A and B are shown apart, each in its own frame.
Chain A
Amino acid sequence: MGIDVQTILDGFFTTIQPMNLFWIALGGFLGTVVGMLPGLGPATAIALLIPITFGMEPTSALILMAAIYYGAMYGGSRSSILLNTPGDGSAIAATFDGYPMAQKGQAGQALAISAIASLIGGLIAVVGFIVLAKPLASFALRFGPAEYFLLMIFTLSAIVALAKGQMVKGFISMCIGLMISTVGIDLQTGVYRFTMGNVHLSEGIDFLVVIIGIYAVGEVLYNFLSINKPVGEKKSVGKIWITKEQWKRSKWPIIRNGPVGFLIGVLPGAGGAIASMLSYSLEKQISKQPEEFGEGAIEGLAAPESSNNAAAVGAFIPMLAMGIPGSGTTAVILGAIVMLGLKPGPLLFENNPDMVWTFVNSMFIGNLFLVILNIALVGILVKILDTPPRVLYPVIMMLAFIGTYTLGYSTVDFLILIVFGFVGLFMKMLNFPVAPLILAVIVGSDMEQNFRMSLISYPNAIGILTASPITIALVIMTIVSLGFPFLSSWLMKRKAGKNNSEAM
């Protein structure tokens, strides 16, 4: 099966329609602004802006949300470099060398290389998307209920296992998410479950309200805890361009880490945070001057920036090709486009190829747009960073409530929103990972349907697990992903022990 050049070109022409270009620009700009706010990342940006997509064409909505996503990634790097306050996990690595660079008076160069690295990383990943997405979708056509059920189990277990040393907390977070998804009328039998006699709850809890509650209200409340802390001193930006010497140093790290980030993004559970950390340590290991890392080495900024943007693009593959989001942010996007009546999965590539390729092309153009925005308009963007958060957080809070109202036109949802806002706050305070909950809320209902359908075909659990080679592979992958944290900590201990004995 080849890649049909004609459909890709058709997608390109759909993308450059004025309205779609407008959505790309709007999404990229709004995403950048929200992403720049300290403490807020892509998931929050999308959760907040979901109401804009209502009444939109699904294709335009997808384009808009993707633009918000990578816009927020660009924005997150701005605040990492200038203020040392990353918006979310994937922007943390940008503080390691980006902030020292700004301290040394190279803020302009840091911003420029971050934008350029993000662009190249993103473009490499778009090429990867074109190559990998369709084969994966065709492969997923062979999936039945049992395979889907186990794929969801694997995705959830991967995201739980990656909650660094907090696996138990990850499991609890996941269970809460799954519980939320069981509230309401059971789709297969009409039995009312866990509604506590409340009419509103019989329709179930809208997962978008949960998402807005946790990612918008919860994050803002969490930021209240540190609102009086002084932020890092902002240096003047200066000229936004890099020297030839700097480009020579960062060229290969950028190109190397694009594919690295892309592949990690495709994996379920691992997203931009892991991709950028891995790229950072990878570059540090192969660098001839590892001692410069952390002191403002330009390749230490370029590598993770290329990698996390590539991961963001890669994360769309399992979401679109299999209907399984691999990260919190793609879970939010999936939830929003399902609301618009679109069902991502292998059939999307068969039935709506124009949509998929329009989306791919929009990522090309969107990344180009963001580089222009981030380099040409950096003066205005930096001014936004001057707006005090104590003014912006109330506005975000208001937007969260309005967004929730537009979902169901009922103030009962406000109460659910408040509850989950505080759930999100306490989870962050207690160091619980949020992504497993979000993912579980989104896939929970599908997961149960697939589970029960497979129970009809196979009478017992063993039958489901061994239904086909694919299910067996998925079971093994689940076991490996859950065992991996134990294995790696055991290896680390062993290595440490070895080093100690050598030292003696």
Chain B
Amino acid sequence: MVRYITPILATLVGVIMLINAINLPKSNLGNPNGPMYFPLLIAIILIISGIVYFLQEFKARVNDFADFRALRIGKSPAYLLVSLMLMLIYTVLFDRIGFLYSTILFLAGLLFLLNGRKKWMSNIIIAVAFSFVTWYAFGTLLQVSLP
């Protein structure tokens, strides 16, 4: 099924873009349709590509998605899901508790996820050390202000 979802999705995105492009507000300056042409062109190419892609997949009838099989076995799906959650939490915490603490938590989270709980000591040391070094490097050496 995965084989058909991508081409359908691509075609759908193209159609949405086409509709949105046609409904773009007219410009008061220059050619009133000016803002529309280029998006329209992209949408049409995308729709055509999506349809051709669908037909190709339909004709091929092979199912070769080694990487998707990898998704179903082992810890990979857990890795991806937990990383996604960690990234979203990091995004929320970054503004609230500042760069240093949120980064330590983010890095520690990823390390515990990938490196395992047994190496908790080195995980914590790496997380704190790297966060501190980057914080110092960006804040002081590169003069980028971090919250």
Produce 1/0 per residue, B98-123, CB < 8 A to A: 01000100110011001100000010
CB distance from B15 to the nearest CB of A (A): 12
- Among residues of B, the one whose C-beta sits closest to the C-beta of A220 is B83
Chain B residues in the interface with A (C-beta under 8 A): 2, 6, 10, 13-14, 17, 20, 24-25, 27-31, 34-35, 37-39, 42, 45-46, 49-50, 52-53, 56, 65, 67-68, 70-71, 74-76, 79-80, 83-84, 87-88, 90-91, 94-95, 99, 103, 106-107, 110-111, 114-115, 122, 126, 130-131, 134, 138, 142-146
Q: Given A54-B142, A418-B84, A418-B88, A186 and B35 touching (CB < 8 A)?
A: yes
A168 touching B49 by the CB < 8 A rule?
Answer: yes
B71 touching A225 by the CB < 8 A rule?
Answer: yes
A sample of 29 inter-chain contacts (CB < 8 A) reads A168-B52, A171-B46, A172-B46, A175-B14, A178-B42, A179-B13, A188-B30, A189-B35, A224-B76, A225-B67, A225-B76, A227-B79, A228-B74, A390-B111, A391-B114, A397-B83, A398-B110, A398-B131, A398-B134, A401-B87, A401-B103, A402-B134, A411-B94, A414-B90, A414-B94, A418-B84, A451-B37, A455-B31, A455-B37
B38 touching A451 by the CB < 8 A rule?
Answer: yes
B27 touching A189 by the CB < 8 A rule?
Answer: yes
CB distance from B102 to the nearest CB of A (A): 10
Give the chain A neighbours of B83 by CB distance below 8 A. 221, 224, 397
CB distance from B98 to the nearest CB of A (A): 12
Q: How far is the CA of A411 from the CA of B106 in the complex (A)?
A: 15
A398 touching B138 by the CB < 8 A rule?
Answer: no
A193 touching B39 by the CB < 8 A rule?
Answer: yes
B74 touching A398 by the CB < 8 A rule?
Answer: no
Give the chain A neighbours of B27 by CB distance below 8 A. 186, 188-191
Q: Which 9 A-B pairs have the closest CB atoms?
A: A394-B110, A189-B27, A175-B46, A171-B49, A390-B114, A429-B67, A414-B91, A448-B38, A191-B35
B42 touching A401 by the CB < 8 A rule?
Answer: no
B17 touching A189 by the CB < 8 A rule?
Answer: no
B30 touching A189 by the CB < 8 A rule?
Answer: yes
Q: How far is the CA of A95 from the CA of B71 in the complex (A)?
A: 27
A369 within 8 Å of B (CB atoms): no
A175-B46, A191-B25 given; name 14 further pairs at CB < 8 Å.
Answer: A168-B56, A169-B53, A171-B46, A182-B42, A188-B35, A391-B122, A393-B114, A397-B83, A398-B103, A409-B145, A418-B84, A448-B38, A451-B38, A452-B37
- Among residues of B, the one whose C-beta sits closest to the C-beta of A410 is B95
Give the chain A neighbours of B84 by CB distance below 8 A. 418, 422
Q: How far is the CA of A14 from the CA of B16 in the complex (A)?
A: 52
A51 touching B38 by the CB < 8 A rule?
Answer: no
Q: How far is the CA of A182 from the CA of B18 in the complex (A)?
A: 13
- Among residues of A, the one whose C-beta sits closest to the C-beta of B9 is A172
A221 touching B80 by the CB < 8 A rule?
Answer: yes
Q: How far is the CA of A179 from the CA of B14 in the complex (A)?
A: 10
Chain A interface main SS type: helix
B143 touching A55 by the CB < 8 A rule?
Answer: yes
Give the chain A neighbours of B99 by CB distance below 8 A. 402, 405
A429 touching B30 by the CB < 8 A rule?
Answer: no
B75 touching A228 by the CB < 8 A rule?
Answer: yes
Produce 1/0 per residue, A295-336, CB < 8 A to B: 000000000000000000000000000000000000000000
A402 touching B38 by the CB < 8 A rule?
Answer: no
Give the chain A neighbours of B71 by CB distance below 8 A. 225, 429
- Among residues of B, the one whose C-beta sits closest to the C-beta of A402 is B134
Q: How far is the CA of A397 from the CA of B86 in the complex (A)?
A: 11
A394 touching B107 by the CB < 8 A rule?
Answer: yes
A52 touching B39 by the CB < 8 A rule?
Answer: no
A405 touching B146 by the CB < 8 A rule?
Answer: yes
A175 touching B49 by the CB < 8 A rule?
Answer: yes
Most buried by B among A55, A411, A425: A411
- Among residues of A, the one whose C-beta sits closest to the C-beta of B10 is A172
Produce 1/0 per residue, A402-434, CB < 8 A to B: 100110010100110010011001001110000
Cβ-defined partner of B42 (8 Å) among A179, A191, A227: A179
CB distance from B66 to the nearest CB of A (A): 9
CB distance from B18 to the nearest CB of A (A): 11
Q: How far is the CA of A406 from the CA of B46 in the complex (A)?
A: 33
Give the chain B neighbours of A425 by CB distance below 8 A. 80
A388 within 8 Å of B (CB atoms): yes
A224 touching B67 by the CB < 8 A rule?
Answer: no
Cβ-defined partner of B111 (8 Å) among A55, A168, A394, A428: A394
CB distance from B70 to the nearest CB of A (A): 5
Give the chain A neighbours of B107 by CB distance below 8 A. 394-395, 398
- Among residues of A, the one whose C-beta sits closest to the C-beta of B141 is A52
- Among residues of B, the one whose C-beta sits closest to the C-beta of A224 is B79
Q: Given A225-B76, A405-B146, A429-B67, A394 and B114 touching (CB < 8 A)?
A: yes
Give the chain B neighbours of A405 by CB distance below 8 A. 94, 99, 146
B38 touching A401 by the CB < 8 A rule?
Answer: no
Cβ-defined partner of B28 (8 Å) among A175, A182, A189: A189
Q: How far is the CA of A455 from the CA of B31 in the complex (A)?
A: 10
Q: Given A168-B53, A179-B42, A394-B111, A226 and B142 touching (CB < 8 A)?
A: no
